[in-house]
Amino acid sequence: PVAHAADLVVFGGTGDLSMRKLLPALYHCDRDGRLAPDARIIAVSRGGLDDADFRGKVEAEVRPGLHAGDAAGWGRFLRRLHHVCADVPAGHDAPVHPGWGRLTRMLAGREDTGRVFYLASPPMTFGPFCRAAGRAGLVTPSSRVVLEKPLGRDLAGARRINDEVGAVFGEHQIFRIDHYLGKETVQNLLVLRFANAFLEPIWNSLWIDHVQITAAESVGTPGRRGYYDHAGALRDMVQNHLLQLLCLVAMEPPARNDREAIRDEKLKVLQSLRPISGTEAARFTVRGQYTAGRVDGRAVPGYLDEPDDTPPTDASRHVETFAAIRAEVKNWRWAGVPFYLRTGKRMPYRRSEIVVQFKDVPHSIFPGGEPNRLVLRLQPGEGIHLRIMAKEPGAGEVVPRPVPLSLSFADTFHARVPDAYERLLTDVLAGDPTLFMRRDEVEAAWGWIDPVIATWESTGGLPEPYAAGTSGPVGAHELLGRSGRAWHEEDLP
């Protein structure tokens, strides 16, 4: 591995994302030799912690989940950690918090070291953080900034953030994270499509009946009302994660494995999405909200009764915890092929997958055949499964039976499947933005989502209820059922 010299400054460095995802991923990067000996991780937050307090917090909250048996390695990782107490200035001319002085002193003399500003804080702080870093003279030509989602809550908001960040950093320095792009199966999709000859000739409307993209979660949203009431499933999952997956399935083969070539092709897919608004939103989209039910044998409350410091409001009643959309990519390759997207909280299982359903054989000579189906499983159990028809052994009547041809990454490669953040942080350190969203992609995605949300809001209706532990509202099944299709619910090996 290449060890990258860097100072990683994490704004919101003691928050949930940092403690749950970033620090574990950085620990693994360190353990695998991908951090230079003098690389530092500097958490910035409003909490009055010193380095020792922060290290103690990480020891208590992060280490138990890591099974970090290697005491020397863990000690080395802890010594990289620092904490600076600083806040964002409230306005353009507001006085700068004294913490910025400490940060400036810590970074002084290391201008040639790669410098990464990771904004793991709410999007309204992105502009002010970048401005403050710029004013303090901390942004060097080799600096990078990483932006966590959500990037705004509509196109106008995303543009504003992009402008504010763009006033301090060049586009080549900006890394907009979508952690789904770091998932092993997602990257494998590109290899599967573009390093094998057999798929590409049939990867089109002549052979493919439809595509399903599901990100189902069994968790609810306890304690997240403040964020979730104003986001909802469409903004939280579809605008970014699911549309990115759709792009990778639908994109044309790029000329090179190159950051701009790949992102150019993804952008073209977003630009080809058929707009959905007005009466079409009622036909092609479904939104749901979970009510009380049972998940994993346990009784759980409905969305409005989730424990939270913030009591439910009217916004809570209207927000969707489940969304399904029938999308269409209007180009030569995909004309007429529906792409069904769905995501929801409190579904019966945690499962993210892409399902490509092929057409029936043109002429069937056996009874009871089923069409081929390619399932790309993102989680759990990362792998690829192709449903083929095979003859059941025996001397009687020939009856084809659907069986999976399965590739499990863990079993085949005998390697730990790294967390998406590990991959993406390694790419940030290496300065490779291929798996990050370019400004035009993010804005094109919002441009497609905005009219759907506007239509939902203008009708004022409530989302369809579905009991926790079920696979979404009735409408989601009708969305496919109308054309004789059904969601893939099979649990593969």
Q: How far is the CB of 178 from ligand BG6 (least distance, A)?
A: 8
**Residue carrying structure tokens 């949203």:** 221
Q: Collapse the DSSP code of 291 into the 3-class scheme (helix H, G, I; strand E, B; otherwise coil) and give the result.
A: strand
CB 152 within 8 A of CB 160: yes
CA distance 135 to 232: 35
* Phi, psi at 167, each rounded to 5°: -75, -20
Q: Segment 438-477, which members bind ligand BG6 (CB under 6 A)?
A: none
> Strand 40-45 vs strand 81-85: parallel, antiparallel, or unpaired?
parallel
Helix residue ranges, H only, 241-358: 243-250, 259-272, 279-284, 314-318
Q: How far is the CB of 210 from ligand BG6 (least distance, A)?
A: 23
CA distance 388 to 373: 7
Specify the residue, 149 or 438, whose C-beta has the smaller distance to ligand BG6. 149
Specify the residue, 13 or 182, whose C-beta has the smaller distance to ligand BG6. 182
Judged by CB under 6 A, how many residues of this single chain contact ligand BG6?
A: 6
Q: 324: which 2 tokens?
A: 């399904």
Of 82, 179, 241, 385, which is the active-site residue? 241
Q: How far is the CB of 270 from ligand BG6 (least distance, A)?
A: 19
Q: Collapse the DSSP code of 119 into the 3-class scheme (helix H, G, I; strand E, B; otherwise coil) and give the result.
A: strand
Specify the residue, 87 or 217, whose C-beta has the smaller distance to ligand BG6. 217
Q: Does 353 bind ligand BG6 (CB under 6 A)?
A: no
- Residue 468 neighbours by CB under 8 Å, 6+ apart: 220, 290, 291, 292, 293, 294, 295, 300, 301, 302, 346
Q: How far is the CB of 352 from ligand BG6 (least distance, A)?
A: 6
- Residue 483 neighbours by CB under 8 Å, 6+ apart: 338
CA distance 82 to 13: 10
CA proximity to 181, closest of 190, 171, 173, 172: 190
- β-strand partners of 375: 355, 385
Specify the residue, 20 or 259, whose C-beta has the smaller distance to ligand BG6. 20
Residue 347 CA from chain centroid, whole number: 18
Specify the residue, 217 or 229, whose C-beta has the smaller distance to ligand BG6. 217
CA distance 224 to 123: 16
Q: 383: which 2 tokens?
A: 């792998």
Q: 337: which 2 tokens?
A: 């092929």
Specify the residue, 149 or 326, whose C-beta has the smaller distance to ligand BG6. 149
Specify the residue, 115 or 342, whose C-beta has the smaller distance to ligand BG6. 342
Task: Count the neighbouring beta carbons within 10 Å of the beta carbon of residue 407.
Answer: 16
The single residue among 121, 212, 321, 352 that binds ligand BG6, judged by CB under 6 A, is 352
Q: Is 230 a catalytic residue?
A: no
Helix residue ranges, H only, 277-402: 279-284, 314-318
Q: Does 217 bind ligand BG6 (CB under 6 A)?
A: yes
CA proximity to 343, closest of 331, 353, 355, 333: 353
Task: Count the neighbouring beta carbons within 10 Å of the beta carbon of residue 25.
Answer: 21
Q: Segment 155-174, which members bind ligand BG6 (CB under 6 A)?
A: none
Q: How far is the CB of 387 from ligand BG6 (least distance, A)?
A: 24
With CB atoms as reference, the residue minimizing the distance to ligand BG6 is 236
**Per-residue mark of binding to ligand BG6, 230-249 (x: CB under 6 A):** ------x-------------
CB 387 within 8 A of CB 353: no
Q: How far is the CB of 221 from ligand BG6 (least distance, A)?
A: 7
Q: How far is the CB of 351 from ligand BG6 (least distance, A)?
A: 10
Q: Does 306 bind ligand BG6 (CB under 6 A)?
A: no
Specify the residue, 21 or 57, whose C-beta has the smaller distance to ligand BG6. 21
Q: How far is the CB of 224 from ligand BG6 (least distance, A)?
A: 8
Q: Segment 322-341, which members bind ligand BG6 (CB under 6 A)?
A: none
Return the active site residues. Answer: 241
- Residues within the interface to ligand BG6 (CB under 6 A): 149, 179, 215, 217, 236, 352
